[in-house]
Structure 1
Amino acid sequence: MQNEPFFRIDGDHYVPTPASRGPWNPNSLHGRVIIGLLGHEIERLYGGPEYIPARLTVDMYRLPDLSPVEVTTRVVRDGYRIKVIDAEFVSGGVSAGRATCQLLRRTEATTGTVWKPETWDAPKPADIPVPQDPRMGMGGMWAMRPITGAFGTVGPRKTWMSEVRELVEGRPLTPFTRVAVAADFASPFANAGDKGLEYINTDITVYLHREPATEWVGFEVINHGSTDGVGIGECLLYDEQGPIGSAACCALAQKRAAG
């Protein structure tokens, strides 16, 4: 990956680059990099091949600026079969978000048959033409291969997404980091309507029964609901081999700041 990373390391801090700017305010971070960095740091410090990060929940309660970031962590439970880790996102000395991650130990698979929804019938990313619309992928923030539906339309939506840059300079993306930094897309994908995106998500929860085996993550919108300016959105997640989990978010009605 030759594109500018989202963060560079400076001692104990992560320094945001211009690539990390979000859509709501030109002087603030994108939610996806907050989620991604919290997940990345938890996995880096507490993960391992014998565990799968089965759930990551991130609360985002302040829109951080481009100040240097520190991530602090706390072990809630360090058991043989389950680990629970808390992490806090501190921007410029101010807390802006927090995460809880549940890591479950891999074990012998069960043998029974359990009902599950049919896997989406989607073409592979390599078989989908590169979209010419510069709005796809937010001007190059990520690569996209749309399958069904698009922003500005009302109806079912499916798409492939792939990261085009490192989250932290010099640290290759792991499968879990790839999902964590992409998961925020569940909000705009599920909550955008015929007048564009009018909701800013305040959290994200990702559930994984396995990590992606390929660089492409598929999103399929399965739910949106809103009342009195409070919304929710949900997506199923896939890789090129099949389903991997889901992502869900809460959101508030929001207007963009002037650029």
Structure 2
Amino acid sequence: MSNEPFFRRDGDHYIPTPAGRGPWNPNSLHGRVIIGLLGQVLEERHGDPAFIPARLTVDMYRLPGFEPVEVTTRMVREGGRIRVADAEFISGGVSMARATCQFLRRGDVPPGQVWRPQPWDVPAPQEIEPDERSGMSGMWAMRNISGGFGLAEQRRTWMSEVREIVDGSPLTPFQRVAVAADFVSPIAHVGDQGLGYINSDVTLYLHRLPAAEWIGFETTYHGADEGVAVGEARLYDERGPIGIASCVALSQKRPPPPPPRKD
């Protein structure tokens, strides 16, 4: 990848780059780069080829700026079939987010038939015209399938990461889907008046890792009351389903519109 990464290593710290700027505050990081870094460090320190990172949950309770980041981890349980590890995202010496990853040992699928959703029959990403306006000006690549921002309808889209999370560390399949998972919030919560929610967490569930670079999203749930929203999307690669992503979000206050001009 030739695009600027989200972080550069400096000893035990990660230095954010402008590529990780978020949409809510120009002086803060995007939630997806927080999730991506936590997922990458958890996989690097505690992952094992014999295990699938089946669940990643990230709580984001503060908006980090561009100060140096430290990620601390600890193994909560290291069993023969289930392993659980925690990580903390510390920016400028202050805790900003935390994550838990559950690793499950690979094995055989039990015999028998179980209900599944209908196959995801959509055009491949290579068959869809690129939309240069999407992906926050090139933070990621996108191929929209149906629905769209500004429309109150179910959305389906492909997205692909275009840069490394940390400079010099090529994306693994798990890191690729982890950094994409934050998109569940805008795809589930956007409406005909725009996006009025900022998510405070993301949970990613995987029954297998993606086989290629494109991750498909299909919204399956949005519900909101009293300023709190829950959203969910099914996740796919070009071979079929790989899992789901879900999030909770808070209504986000917007600055009042400017007064009308008096000519």
Cα offset for 1:121?
1.2
SS at 1:139 equivalent? helix
Distance 1:164 1:119 in 2: 27
Cα offset for 1:255?
3.1
Structure 2 letter corresponding to 1:27:
N
Cα offset for 1:118?
0.8
1:92 has 2:104 as partner: no
Distance 1:243 1:20 in 2: 28
Cα offset for 1:229?
0.8
Q: Deviations over 1:194-231 (max 9, x none)?
A: 11111000000000000000100000000001111111
Cα offset for 1:109?
2.1
Distance 1:257 1:213 in 2: 42
Cα offset for 1:131?
1.7
Distance 1:257 1:97 in 2: 26
Structure 1 residues not aligned, in runs of 5+: none
| Alignment correspondent of 2:259 | none
Point out 4+ residue stretches in structure 1 off by more than 4 angstroms.
none
Contact 1:201 1:250 in 2 (8 A): yes
| Alignment correspondent of 2:28 | 28
| Alignment correspondent of 1:181 | 179
Contact 1:183 1:204 in 2 (8 A): yes
Cα offset for 1:141?
0.6
- Root-mean-square deviation (CA), in Å? 1.1
Picking from 207, 227, 230, the partner of 1:229 is 227
| Alignment correspondent of 1:207 | 205
Q: Deviations over 1:136-186 (max 9, x none)?
A: 111111000000100000111000000000000000000000011000000
| Alignment correspondent of 1:171 | 169
Distance 2:187 2:71 in 1: 28
Normalization by structure 2: what TM-score? 0.96
Q: 1:63 to 1:42 in 2, by over 3 A?
A: same
SS at 1:152 equivalent? coil
Distance 1:201 1:28 in 2: 14
Structure 2 letter corresponding to 1:216:
W
Cα offset for 1:257?
7.1
Distance 2:101 2:176 in 1: 15
SS at 1:162 equivalent? strand
Q: Mapping of 1:98-113 within 5 angstroms?
A: 98-113=98-113
| Alignment correspondent of 1:144 | 142
| Alignment correspondent of 1:76 | 76
Normalization by structure 1: what TM-score? 0.97
Question: Aligned pair count?
Answer: 256
Distance 2:22 2:144 in 1: 22
Distance 1:99 1:213 in 2: 24
Greater radius of gyration (CA): 2
Q: 1:256 to 1:215 in 2, by over 3 A?
A: farther
Structure 2 residues not aligned, in runs of 5+: 257-263
| Alignment correspondent of 2:247 | 249
Q: Which stretch shifts more, 171-180 or 111-120? A: 111-120
Distance 1:240 1:63 in 2: 34
Same amino acid, percent of matched pairs: 66
Q: Which stretch shifts more, 166-175 or 104-113? A: 104-113
Distance 1:71 1:207 in 2: 22
